[in-house]
Every structure is written in structure tokens, then in C-alpha cells.
Chain A
Amino acid sequence: MPLIVDIVSPEEVLLQDEADMVITRSADGEIAFLPGHIPFIGVLKPNTVRVHLSNGKKIDLDVQAGFLEVANDRITVLSDSLEVSDYQAEVHEVAEA
């Protein structure tokens, strides 16, 4: 069962999709979430949130600050300082090799 990822800014929902893995950096360091992760609430450090979508695509989002909650295979990233500018452009296919 894949993870459901919601990336939400105060003005809009930026992403809601299924993912296999989400990597980010919280207060204690780099952390990756896979399906079945235990419930987690953390404060995000400035970093790039890397979302590996179930369809093979990868999305990178730059975050200055924010929160992340994981519960029941649902990851919610809340941030008021998402680098929205060209996140769509950063959606790129994972190399087939």
C-alpha cells in the first residue's frame, strides 16, 4: 500500500498523490518515510523534500520551514515557505536504467 502525500501551503494544496517514499530533513537530521512508518510529527529544517511518486516520477520541493505529520500511511507536509515557483518544472522522470 503506497503512502498518500499531501503537500499543503496556506494558499493552496500543491500536491496530493501516492508515493513510495518521501525523504526530507527534520530537526534530528535526514529522514525517509516508507509505507508503514510509525506515526510521526516533526519540524522541518530548510531542505529539499524529495517525493518518489508511485508512478515513477520524482518531485523536489524546496522548503524553508514547516511541519510534517505521518499517520496511517498518510504524509502531510505543511509549509508556508514552499518554493512554489517552478516545482512543476522539477517533476522529472526517474532514469529508466
Chain B
Amino acid sequence: MAGGVERTLRRRISSVQSTKKITRAMELIATTRVVKAQQRANASRPYAEKITQVIADLATYGADPSNPLFNPKEGIKRVGIVAISSDRGLAGPYNSQVIRAVESELIDAERQGKDYLLVSIGKKARDYFSFRNYKIAKSYEKMSDTPTYKNAKEVANTVKDFFIEGEVDEVRLIYTEFVSLGVQKVAVSQFLPLAAGDVDSAETSGDSEHQSPNAAFEFEPSPEDILETLLHRYIESRLFSAMLDAAASEHANRQRAMKAATDNAEELIVGLTRKMNRARQDAITTEIMEIVGGAEALAESSGTVDEFEELTV
């Protein structure tokens, strides 16, 4: 029966409508969270800038940068990879982009005869790589959404330990860089050993109000000891800012994906409504035809043909 088509369409429309409500809600939530994540990223910037400033000052005024964290190693046997993904999906291409970049790094390492050590942040990366039998040295969860400095410290300590104990010879960080609200791109950056250039370039791009003093610094304790502790904080702060960037990117991606889903649902509803109306109209037309046909047949058999003929012609 034609009425059945109408009913199934009506049911589909209401299901699409409730999906739309959900995606709309997710979009709104993501929108506020992008803003929040961006604010957090901005608030964390002064610390990162100041710390690079102090390291630059230390380097210029005494400390000799022979720290193990600085020195690149010869003959890299094992590459450490830190991948920042999210715990939850429905964020468009956010996770798959990171995962693809990580996988190509892993394949590259293998092709060059190097071993790898994978540290994953976020459920999505963990699920993907454990399902494909990659070995994951350590995985972290429940920190990618709103990372705290404590989270960054925890991860950074693990990674630093791997590096210092010689488990890995270099560490690469793969995360999604938040360029702007509309643009986020996957970034692969050298995390350890620290490149001397990192600090130098940060000095020139750092805050402009800071002028390095003319007189030499007084150090308490020795410059080397200060540098040693300072570098650890610097590594943590770099990971922290990467995590904040990734969180902002995640929310921006989710917002965009949910916006597309909402728009799509809207379009679907319009299409389905049109179809439903047509089905209803068809049903009505058929019904009228049936009545008319029936009446005609009735009239023919009872002999009052003329009246009905006038009506139908």
C-alpha cells in the first residue's frame, strides 16, 4: 500500500531529525571548546617564551651546552615516536591524518632498518596501532581533551627516560598544529635531542621587550646545573604546548565535521519531506481514482450512467 511508503519515510525523517539534533549539539559544544582550548594555548605561551629566553641567556652567558639532551647521536638505531591523537572520534579527518603520518614514519624507520618505539596519547592511535600489531611502548588516555601540565610532565618524563637511558636515539613528535580556526595541519617535529637552533630561533622570535643585559649574569648554582634542570622543564613545556595545540585542533575538527553533518541532515530532511509529500499525494490520488472508478462501476450496473458520466468527463 502507498500509505506504507509514507509511514516509513516519516519514520526516517524523524530519525534524521534526532541525529541532526545530536550533531548540532556536538557542534555547539565543540565551538565553545575550541575557544577555550585556544585561550589555554595562548595562556601557556608566556611560560614557553620565557623559558626559552632563559635558556638562550644561559647559553650566551656561560653554560656550555654539552648537555646530553642537546647532543645528536650517531648511528640511530631506534626512533621514538610520540603520537598525539584523541580519545573520541567524530572529529572528521583529525585522527586519521595523525595516524597516517605516524604510520608512514614507522614504515620509513623500518625501511631504513631502524627499530621504533611508539608512545601514543589518545585512544584512537592506540586502538589503530594495537589492532595492526604495532608494538606500543606506552599509551596514555584521558588527557588529550583538556591536557594539563601534569599530563605533559608525565608523558615527557617517560619519553625523556627512554632517551636518557639510550632506549631510543631520537624522538619525534607527531601532532596536529593549530594554525588557525580554519587550518590545522599535522606536524612532525624533532622532540629529542634538542636542536641548538630551537633555542636560538626562539630567542629572536621571543618577546621583543626583552633585551639581554650587557653585564654578565650571576648564577646560583652553576650555569650547568641550572641548564640541566631548565632543559627538563623546557621539554615538558614543549610537549605541553603541542598537546594544547592538538586539543584545539581536535575541537576545531570536530566542530567542522559536526557542522557538515548537521547541514547534511538538513538537506536529507528536505529531500525526504519532498518524497513523503509526493507519496502522500500519490496515495490520495490513487484513493480518489479508486472511489471514482468504484462509483462508475456501481453506476453502470444500476443504470444511472448519465449523471456519473457528466461528473467524470
**Which residues does A use to contact B, with CB under 8 Å?**
6, 8-13, 26-28, 31, 38-43, 65, 67, 69, 71-72, 74, 76, 78, 80
Contact = CB atoms under 8 A, between A and B. Distances in A.
What 10 A-B pairs come out closest when comparing CB atoms?
A42-B220, A10-B149, A12-B43, A27-B221, A39-B213, A39-B217, A71-B213, A27-B220, A26-B220, A40-B218
Nearest to B62: A41
B233 A67 contact: yes
B243 to A, nearest CB: 11
Contacts of B237: 10
A28 B220 contact: yes
B92 to A, nearest CB: 28
A69 B57 contact: yes
A11 B149 contact: yes
B202 interface: no
Interface string B203-215: 0000000111101
A1 B212 CA distance: 18
B47 A10 contact: yes
- Grouping DSSP codes into helix (H, G, I), strand (E, B) and loop, the B interface class, with mixed when no group exceeds half, is helix
Contacts of A12: 43-44
Nearest to B49: A8
Contact of A80 (B50, B149, B218, B226): B149
A72 to B, nearest CB: 5
Interface of B: 40, 43-44, 46-48, 50-51, 53-54, 57-58, 61, 148-149, 152-153, 210-213, 215-221, 223, 225-226, 229-230, 233, 236-237, 240
Contacts of B43: 11-13
Given A10-B236, A11-B40, A67-B233, A41 B47 contact: no
B217 A10 contact: no
